[in-house]
């Protein structure tokens, strides 16, 4: 389950930011998760609760914001939104697509005290 290692990375960021900015607790964290990021949200939520124990983010509310997957279609030259990385173009049915967004995962913001 790579969600645990993702949360370990998040914990490191939280701890670094707590030292840099002098906060003691994160009350809420919002993560942006792209549709193609390969993240199982239920597993990420579970891992977040486990990995954040003993950190400034222990007990923090986790909100995940879905980001769409977008690709450039080389057949119709349009940027399109995709449900799946391997889907054909929803406009022309073409299969020559270059994914542009949707594989990202980042901390959008944190509420801290």
Does residue 1 register a pLDDT over 90? no
Supply the CATH number for residue 107's domain: 3.30.2320.50
Helix 41-51 to helix 2-21 angle (10° resolution) is 50
Residue 55 lies in a domain: yes
pLDDT band at 46; cut points 50, 70, 90: very high
Q: Does 11 reside within a domain?
A: yes
Query: CA-to-CA distance for 58 and 108, rounded, in angstroms?
Result: 18
Exposure on the CB side of residue 60, measured as CA atoms within 13 A:
32
> What's the rounded mean pLDDT across residues 49-64?
98
Q: Is residue 83 part of a domain?
A: no
CA atoms within 13 A on the CB side of 89: 18
Residue 37 counted as domain residue:
yes
Residue 47 lies in a domain: yes
What is the rounded average pLDDT of the residues 91-96? 97
Q: Which stretches within 22-85 are classed as H helix?
A: 41-51
Structural domain contains residue 76 = no
| Tally of domains within the chain | 1
For residue 48, the enclosing domain spans 2-68+102-112
* Residue 63 belongs to some domain of the structure: yes
| Residue 67 neighbours by CB distance under 10 Å | 19
**Per-residue confidence (pLDDT) for residue 79, from 0 to 100:** 97
């Amino acid at each position: 389950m790579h969600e645990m290692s993702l949360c370990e990375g998040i914990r490191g960021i939280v701890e670094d930011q707590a030292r840099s900015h002098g906060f003691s607790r994160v009350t809420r964290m919002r993560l942006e998760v792209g549709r193609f990021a390969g993240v199982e949200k239920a597993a990420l939520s579970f891992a977040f609760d486990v990995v954040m124990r003993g950190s400034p983010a222990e007990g923090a509310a986790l909100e995940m914001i879905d980001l769409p997957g977008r690709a450039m279609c080389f057949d119709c030259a349009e940027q399109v939104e995709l449900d799946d990385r391997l889907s054909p173009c929803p406009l022309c049915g073409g299969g020559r697509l270059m994914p542009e967004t949707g594989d990202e995962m980042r901390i959008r913001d944190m509420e801290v005290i």
